[in-house]
Structure 1
Amino acid sequence: MTKVNSEYGWADVPCTGTQWSARRENARYCIDELQEQGKIDTDDLETLVASIVNTCAAKPIRFFPDLITREMAPSLYGPELPGLRIYVPAEGALDAVKSEGEGSVPSYKSLDGGTHCFYADIHPKSPDQLMDPENAASHFSSSLQQVLDEIEECVQVANAKIDEEHSWIEDDVRTLLTRRRDRRRAFLEAVEPLKIPLHSETMIDIPIEQAALTYEDVQTLGPGHKNFKLSDQIADAVIQSIRSFGTALERSPDTADKLLNLHEETIRDILLMVLNANWRGQATGETFNGDGKTDIVLRHEDRNAIIVECKIWGGQGIFNEALTQLFSYNVWSDTRAAILLIIRLAEPALAVKTAQEEIRKHPNLIRVEIEHAEGGSYIMRSPKDPARAIHLELLPIVIPKKPKPAPKTGKPKKITADKSVQDHHD
């Protein structure tokens, strides 16, 4: 089911549901959210379109005859004449079978564990047929094939409608994204000659009175054992602070370049100060701590609620080392993590794409929440405890390397002492 977003008003749409209008509205809400985060100003518009459509559009229906199972069916003729019930696993927007099918359509249901399946009952025609094994087997076999043929026919009709709606959403998203991006670019081009500095909304606020970090006791594992998570509101705000910090660096490339030239850990140390200036622990006063050269962690009772990795892009190998380091920590349920990926290349899009590919093929990946040209959000599994999830944000920032000044040429002038000074010594 689509997660409800209280800020943007996302509608509940089950994964099996059609709700075409609600899905289109969700796509618009998704665009609103990305625009609010400043992520629609990109030349790689098709990647953004594909990500939104994948998140919001109904999924095509697939069914799996090779995984069919059976059980005894309720008899139509009393307990002495049993029937056969078959289950055919399926996935996708199964409601489209009912809304688009004509005549007899297969039934489907949800099973434990979030799986879905078509099901049908097959009954013998008479007790005499049941007592004739060859005749009964032929009847069940032909009836089963008829059920599978009906399912396939209905799925084809339903998928045609799903594909049609998929195209509608894709066209709507592409049109709206293009219009908003182009208008934003035109606006920025129009106001640039005014030379007015940007308002402080992109700066990192450091309040005099620190905000408190609050933990939610989400589950009791047994006597004396608790499992904690950072409240979603606070966790989202911390991640947004990190994202804003990266934006501020991108908009001050000269300063950021100087900081990186001082030492690789300088950016991490400044972010650490910003986070500790904005947030403090409740009661016990937990704070963000440096861990290693590039990591920032927020610990609570010997486990980590937030992990931040500041990493300069140096290729797949170094990025995978960052992932390995991140997954080495002990975590609580739903730990939040972020990789602030500093890219100093002339073509940063390739680095972002490679980083996304490395996360997608990582064995700890559970699912991709969203991906776009400027990062992504992923749900990962903790290798130390598969029952614990890590919500990972990829936050790339681009800080180009400034070219080194060319060495001076020509013969240096001879430096002579000031005449008045010479006279004095004489």
Structure 2
Amino acid sequence: MRKTLGVAMLTGIVVAASATGATAAPRAEADSGYIVVLRADANSSSVAAEQARASGATVGHIYEHALRGYSARMSATAAARIARDSRVLFVQPDGLATADAQTTPTGINRADAELSPTARINGADERVNVDVAVIDTGIDLTHPDLNVYTAGAKNCSTGASANDGNGHGSHVSGTIGALDNGVGVVGMAPGARLWPVRVLNNAGSGTFSDIICGIDYVTAHASEIEVANMSLGGSGSDSACGSNKDAMHEAICRSVAAGVTYVVAAGNETDNAANHVPAAYDEVITVSALADFNGQPGGGAAATCRSDVDDTIADFSNFGADVDLMAPGVCIYSTWKGGGYNTISGTSMASPHAAGGAALYKATHPTATPSAVKSALQSAGTTNYSWPAGDPDGIQEKLLNVATF
């Protein structure tokens, strides 16, 4: 509600022997993307400007809220030099993340959102008073079925606008909070104010540095934003807050400490979520995907948009001890760019169901901490789905249920 990856291993210049045995001249180093994390008392802007002048780096984002630091393009030699500066905690190569969608409102029914007294799904367009950041490809800013808070839009990716050029972010947004207005679809927390934080481009990919820019922006507005959804992921592993090994994790640690509840996709690699970030982070709510084709427990429903087994973990879903919750993520119908609607699958579709559930809880428990929100979602969850069939880790995660929220 509106309230007024340690120092990276860096390679040096490569020299090669010519055909005659003579040593060739050193090749000029190509610039690459890096994330520089500074000590908490450093001035991000001034240090970035100084180090850029000295090293020939091109500065990208300046981080001031979730962490102190900046992103830049520079040579490996320059990055190694900057890493030795006493004001620098660590420097890491930038990474790449992609939207966790596969090909996707049975999910709203299966999570019992229509029974929630806070959601009040009755076609009367009574909007849930809560703010949710969608850290994604942007949102269709003028979609008639979404309550987009355009004054809160932020673009950390390509272009000048936070408008969605891919569709993924708009789809996620509809599952979180599509209006209960009698047309299109309805979301988990109907009418929630959606903050478009664009960190992925039109192809659905983006750098870790862009994502940190989005986290930094959300942290700057932690007094207004209750929940943030990140239906995206890249390769990586967990680390402890304060270990200074992973800039994106450090940013999320501080954003969570500021009171924002983060809900993230487990990933679509049929792999242990421990190998993917932000899914591996303990401070977030990591969500795997259930295949559900009719919105009802019991199994046996015929597959629709993709071949999967009704009422079991989706065959693409990541798994493991880092998964905190399961939610519908197969053949989910939701809003799309251009004012339209679309059906796609992925843990990207499961995460916003849980983010909407977190939003419902925060709407009635405004002082709840992120850890309390996670505990509430897990406690309210059920095990009313087919298990262990198709579950590769033998852990029966709780299935999202918001009937009492």
Bucket of the pairwise TM-score, normalised by the shorter protein = under 0.3
Q: Which has the higher contact order (CA 8 A, sep 6+)?
A: 2
Q: Which has the greater radius of gyration?
A: 1
TM-score scaled by length of structure 1? 0.21
Structure with greater proportional helix content: 1
Instruction: Give TM-score, length-normalised by structure 2.
Output: 0.22
